Amino acid sequence: MPELPEVEVTRRGIAAYVTGRTISATVARERRLRWPVSSAFDALAGRIVRAVRRRGKYLLFECDDGHLILHLGMSGSLRLLPHDTLPGKHDHVDLVFGDRVLRLRDPRRFGAVLWTQAPLATHPLLGHLGIEPLSRAFNGPRLYALTRGHRVAIKQLLMDARRIVGVGNIYASESLFVAGINPRAPAGRLSRLRCERLVGAVKQTLRKAIRAGGASLRDFVRSDGAPGHFQLRAWVYDRAGLPCRRCGSLVRRIVQGQRATYCCPRCQR
Which residues does the annotation mark as catalytic? 2-3, 57, 259
Alpha helices in the chain (DSSP H): 4-18, 39-42, 140-147, 154-158, 168-179, 192-211
Sheet arrangement for strand 100-105: 25-28, 91-97, 100-105, 77-82
**How many Cα atoms sit within 13 Å of 159 on the Cβ side?**
22
Contact (CB, 8 A) for 173 and 183:
yes
Sort 16 into a burial class: Cβ within 10 Å, 0-12 / 13-18 / 19+.
exposed
Residue 238: C-alpha distances to residues 150, 180, 249 (Å): 28, 18, 15
Distance CA 156, CA 158 (A): 5
